[in-house]
Amino acid sequence: MKKYDVIGVGNALMDVLIELPDSSLLESFGMKDGDWSVVDNSQWEKVFEAAKTYGMKTDSGGSVANTIATVGLLGGNALYNGTVGNDEFGKMYSSGFDKLCGAHDIKTSEQGSTGKCLCLITPPLAERTLVVHYGVADQPYQMENFMKQCSNTKIGHFGGYTVMNKPNENAVKDAMSEVKRNGGLVSFDLSDKIVIDSTGDTLWELVSGHADIIFLNEDESNAFFSKFGIDSVESLMQRASLETVVMKKGNKGSQVFHKGEIVSVGIKEVEAVDTTGAGDAYAGGFLYGLTQGLGIEQCCNIAKNISGLTVSQIGGVYKEKVKIGEWL
């Protein structure tokens, strides 16, 4: 019996979420709706100072972190590994995981500040523009305890952002290998088109040599298929020996390819407030369902509902108790 349902390692970023009335502030900094940029601390502070007059909310974030927190919210045994600074944001970050998962494997570094992601939300589609300063989040991961847990989990979940930093690439590969060696499944989220454009053949090695389950959206699939000469999901699964491919299609729902079965589901109809973390929540719901032995369609229903609830509020992780039985 495995102790954990899902564990994951990623870049621990404190989300600072601000709703803007329009896109004019973005334009003043040379950005447009939906941009994703990595900046130094001084530039992050400049944008933050200009935006904070509209009010803000803080939340523990990072793509893998959002997925692991969602598994914990749904009642799964989940563990997250990341690094924060010895500062107020770092304390807040760790506290958030204590509440959702009951525990964590978050390390504290004295070598800098907690990483932070400024999420600027603009109407009419609640699109988010991300301004990221990594701080200590992408320092070499401290994974001694996490590696021990890789033998004790049903699923290990990883993301593309984690391998954009070369020093952590081998650590992530080792963790994936340890999960598989001990009979667990490896889940991998491609994360963003920028990951595909910047990581070269490493990404193909991770997908084809380690992953059992991958998550991607339509933009990511177009970039990934083009880069590696793939013409369909089916050919991807065959070439990479994948068990499951989850295609997220935004407001068009999702499509899951699993061992010759194809399941399509719509979305939970909600008023979109903030799309931050919607895909991460979907992954958390889907993986939670798998670890509970549910069928693919049931996993999809959990995923679409928790993703919809996440979109209906500010922040990348839904915080209220849910009744999963109503979704099955």
* DSSP code for 263: E
CATH number of the domain at 273, please.
3.40.1190.20
Confidence class for position 82, pLDDT limits 50, 70, 90: very high
pLDDT digits (tens, 9 = 90+) for 152-167: 999 999 999 888 877 7
Q: How far apart are CA 153 and CA 3, in angstroms?
A: 6
Q: How far apart are CA 112 and CA 148, in angstroms?
A: 27
Mean pLDDT of 120-143: 90
CB atoms within 10 A of CB 32: 11
Is there a contact between 212 and 242 (Cβ–Cβ < 8 Å)?
yes
Residue 276 has pLDDT above 80, yes or no: no
Predicted local distance difference test score (pLDDT) of residue 200: 73
Residue 201 has pLDDT above 90, yes or no: no
**Local structure of 178: helix, strand or coil:** helix
Q: How far apart are CA 56 and CA 17, in angstroms?
A: 5
- Transcribe 17-54 into DSSP letters: EEE-SSSHHHHHTT--TT-EEE--HHHHHHHHHHHGGG
Domain-embedded: residue 24: no
Token representation of residue 204: 């193909």
CA angle 98, 100, 105 (to 5 degrees): 45
Confidence class for position 31, pLDDT limits 50, 70, 90: very high
Q: Which among 118, 116, 120, 132 is positioned nearest to 33, based on CA atoms?
A: 120
Mean pLDDT of 41-50: 95
Predicted local distance difference test score (pLDDT) of residue 151: 96
Sign of CA dihedral 138, 143, 160, 89: negative
pLDDT digits (tens, 9 = 90+) for 293-313: 999 999 999 999 999 999 888
Number of domains in the chain: 1
Predicted local distance difference test score (pLDDT) of residue 319: 81
Mean pLDDT of 114-129: 91
Domain-embedded: residue 199: yes
Token representation of residue 48: 């933050």
**Residue 182 vs residue 139, higher pLDDT:** 182
Mean pLDDT of 87-95: 92
Predicted local distance difference test score (pLDDT) of residue 147: 96
Name which of 133-137, 245-249, 310-314 the model is least confident about: 310-314
Residue 49 has pLDDT above 90, yes or no: yes
Token representation of residue 18: 């601000």
One-letter amino acid at 117 equals C
Residue 274 has pLDDT above 80, yes or no: no
Predicted local distance difference test score (pLDDT) of residue 167: 77
- Strand ranges of the sheet holding 57-61, from the earlier edge strand across to the other edge: 36-38, 127-133, 115-122, 13-19, 57-61
* Mean pLDDT value across the chain: 92
Domain-embedded: residue 269: yes
Domain-embedded: residue 295: yes
Half-sphere exposure of 272 (CA within 13 A, CB side): 17
Is there a contact between 43 and 132 (Cβ–Cβ < 8 Å)?
no
Domain that holds residue 101: 4-10+62-112+137-327
Q: How far apart are CA 222 and CA 217, in angstroms?
A: 9
CB atoms within 10 A of CB 191: 26
Mean pLDDT of 245-261: 91
Its pTM stands at 0.91
**Residue 198 vs residue 237, higher pLDDT:** 237
